[in-house]
């Protein structure tokens, strides 16, 4: 059973590689796998002493710190449910997420979080502070001003045996088109996911990475942190608790990193820094992984040229405990720029609206099933009925599988631009825009149009030092796109609105540049 729970997988790795590094924070601490496990068991016992019962949800509002790692692992070890939250939320947002998850306890670090604490008070749950002032001692957990002492921690925790069906992680979808939906993920979901990720990238105890993504998001939490720890490998947490381009490569060298994973926005930031302030030398990486948003083939080429490592684009979502497909390592099979790879450890089908599988190279909805896929959204039967039709989980993405089984995404069903009956993939337009030598970042999006129902617009950030105007961009698009796909309007800007995890969501960009009140309405 141990191999079917995330807690068991992590314990096994600690037993197999007790003296190898698990967590490194430059200038602060260096923990082995066995020491990390001791801290987790002690913190889990403190949660039990604080009254946390199996199935209780523990909300975690932290930056990327060692305390967050320990308290996350401790919550699931205690058979509770960890609900990591963005520490930058407003009080109103915290109230929604704490209430919707039905959290029983809020935990923050010693610096505190006024908005989260106010929300916990409003919802009526206690607040705890977790701190590790001395890496050689236990984590200290103070609950509403009282220490939660963990007497006999080994016996307390030994009595709580993790089950594969235990819900371990509770996250929310991004809510791009509606209110965010609650996604419960079990110990089995997470154990299967980290196994799939370890397998495709051949992660071993010799690997190391620097975490650049927030751990309240499934990409950073599962792909970077948990997959590494489950392999006996190590992770580095930046001392500042967040990604910084100015310290990233120094941290990579100091930790002997062999790979990293990031969203395309962060890859672009690193490329921009490389162009203006290159490092004297870059570490020899086995691979660079890109996920959570589409990576244009031209950016992939620039990354490989700049940093001398193969770039593997992957495809993931919260409901699948992260990864669903990935390009393979070069020694295993070819990589295909523009494709998000082959299914990893699950079944995948491209279905039409009647649930009939599409043949190769014919687009339809990407659907999946496997041990890493959630059983359903929390308290949302209507969403579950639609999401699990025909015995498959429906991702909401449009794509096709080629003859070699590689998945090519066309776009989100709700993001496809319908211009007078012509369906336009914004991903295709993005790729053309980014192929312009003076364009650093670009995003295409649909806006309402009186004549066509929808029209295509785009926003473009020029490369540093480059001058570009709307006519320039339109000329480039006309050379490389059918006339109906050429953006009607181009916004030249120096920044694009992003989510807290660095994603660029087309709906948000569209509303930023063309506010709904100002946009013409179809048929108006």
Mean pLDDT split into 10-residue runs, the chain, 524 residues: 87 97 96 97 94 97 97 97 95 94 97 96 97 92 72 71 96 69 97 98 98 95 98 96 94 97 92 94 97 88 97 97 98 94 98 96 97 97 95 96 96 83 85 94 90 90 93 95 92 89 84 72 34
DSSP 286-311: SEEEE-SS---HHHHHHHHHHH-S-E
DSSP 189-208: HHHHHHHHHHHHHT--TT-E
Q: Which CATH superfamily is domain 417-513 in?
A: ANL, C-terminal domain (3.30.300.30)
Q: What angle do CA 370, 372, 377 make, to 5 degrees?
A: 100
**Residue 520 pLDDT:** 40
What's the CA gap between 49 and 74, in Å, rounded? 13
CATH 3.40.50.12780 domain extents, the chain: 2-312
Asked if 175 contacts 181 with a C-beta cutoff of 8 angstroms, the reply is yes
Asked if 481 contacts 432 with a C-beta cutoff of 8 angstroms, the reply is yes
Asked if 313 contacts 300 with a C-beta cutoff of 8 angstroms, the reply is yes
Torsion of Cα atoms, 6 then 203 then 217 then 424, to 10°: -120
**Residue 382 pLDDT:** 93
DSSP single-letter state for residue 122: H
> Residue 112: CB partners within 8 Å, gap ≥ 6?
129
What's the CA gap between 110 and 36, in Å, rounded? 19
Asked if 261 contacts 323 with a C-beta cutoff of 8 angstroms, the reply is no
**Residue 493 pLDDT:** 95
**Residue 32 pLDDT:** 98
**Residue 411 pLDDT:** 84
**Residue 522 pLDDT:** 33
> CA–CA distance from 409 to each of 255, 306, 353 (Å)?
35, 26, 17
How many beta carbons lie within 10 A of that of residue 353, not counting itself?
8
Q: What angle do CA 253, 254, 257 make, to 5 degrees?
A: 55
**Residue 450 pLDDT:** 77
Q: What angle do CA 380, 383, 387 make, to 5 degrees?
A: 135
Strands 364-369 and 259-262: unpaired
**Listed residue (471, 455, 394) closest to 420, CA to CA:** 455
What's the CA gap between 30 and 32, in Å, rounded? 7
pTM of the shown model = 0.86
What's the CA gap between 139 and 326, in Å, rounded? 37
Topology adopted by domain 2-312? Rossmann fold (3.40.50)
What value does the CA radius of gyration of the chain take, rounded to a whole number of Å? 23
CATH 3.30.300.30 domain extents, the chain: 417-513
How many beta carbons lie within 10 A of that of residue 347, not counting itself?
11
How many beta carbons lie within 10 A of that of residue 179, not counting itself?
12
> CA–CA distance from 346 to each of 202, 321, 370 (Å)?
17, 12, 5
Asked if 357 contacts 351 with a C-beta cutoff of 8 angstroms, the reply is yes
């Amino acid at each position: 059973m141990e191999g079917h729970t995330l807690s068991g997988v992590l314990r096994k790795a600690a037993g197999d590689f007790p003296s190898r590094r698990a967590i490194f924070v430059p200038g602060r601490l260096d923990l082995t796998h066995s020491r990390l496990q001791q801290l987790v068991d002690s913190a889990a016992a403190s949660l039990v002493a604080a009254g946390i019962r199996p199935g209780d949800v523990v909300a975690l509002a932290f930056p990327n710190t060692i305390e967050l790692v320990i308290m996350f692992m401790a919550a699931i070890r205690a058979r509770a449910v960890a609900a990591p939250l963005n520490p930058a939320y407003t009080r109103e947002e915290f109230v929604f997420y704490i209430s919707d998850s039905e959290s029983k306890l809020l935990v923050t670090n010693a610096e505190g979080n006024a908005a989260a604490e106010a929300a916990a008070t409003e919802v009526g749950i206690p607040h705890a502070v977790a701190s590790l002032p001395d890496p050689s001692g236990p984590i200290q957990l103070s609950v509403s001003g009282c220490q939660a002492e963990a007497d006999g921690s080994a016996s307390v925790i030994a009595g709580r045996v993790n089950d594969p069906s235990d819900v371990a992680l509770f996250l929310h979808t991004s809510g791009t088109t509606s209110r965010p939906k609650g996604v419960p993920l079990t110990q089995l979901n997470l154990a299967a996911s980290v196994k799939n990720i370890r397998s495709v990238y051949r992660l071993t105890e010799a690997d190391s990475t620097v975490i650049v993504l927030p751990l309240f998001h499934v990409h950073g939490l599962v792909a970077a942190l948990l997959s590494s720890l489950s392999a006996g490998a190590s992770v580095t947490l930046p001392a500042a608790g967040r990604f910084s381009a100015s310290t990233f490569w120094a941290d990579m060298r100091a930790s002997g990193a062999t790979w990293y994973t990031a969203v395309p926005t962060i890859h672009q930031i690193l490329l921009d820094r490389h162009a203006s302030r290159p490092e004297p030398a870059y570490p020899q990486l086995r691979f660079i992984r890109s996920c959570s948003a589409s990576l244009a083939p031209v950016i992939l080429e620039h990354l490989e040229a700049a940093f001398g490592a193969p770039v593997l684009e992957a495809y993931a979502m919260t409901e699948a405990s992260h990864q669903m497909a990935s390009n393979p390592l070069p020694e295993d099979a070819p990589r295909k720029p523009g494709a998000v790879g082959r299914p990893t450890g699950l079944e995948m089908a491209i279905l039409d609206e009647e649930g009939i599988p599409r043949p190769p190279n014919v687009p339809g909805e990407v659907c999946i099933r496997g041990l890493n896929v959630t059983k359903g959204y929390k308290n949302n039967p209507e969403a579950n009925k639609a999401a699990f039709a025909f015995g498959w989980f429906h991702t909401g993405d449009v794509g096709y599988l080629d003859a070699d089984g590689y998945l090519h995404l066309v776009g989100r069903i709700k993001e496809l631009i319908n211009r007078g009956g012509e369906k336009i993939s914004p991903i295709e337009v993005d790729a053309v825009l980014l192929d312009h030598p003076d364009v650093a970042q670009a995003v295409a999006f649909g806006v309402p149009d009186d004549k066509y129902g929808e029209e295509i617009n785009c926003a473009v950030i020029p490369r540093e030092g480059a001058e570009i105007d709307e006519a320039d961009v339109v000329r480039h698009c006309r050379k490389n796109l059918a006339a109906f796909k050429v953006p009607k309007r181009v916004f030249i800007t120096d920044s694009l609105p992003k989510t807290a995890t660095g994603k660029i969501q087309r709906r948000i960009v569209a509303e930023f540049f063309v506010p709904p009140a100002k946009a013409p309405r179809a048929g108006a």
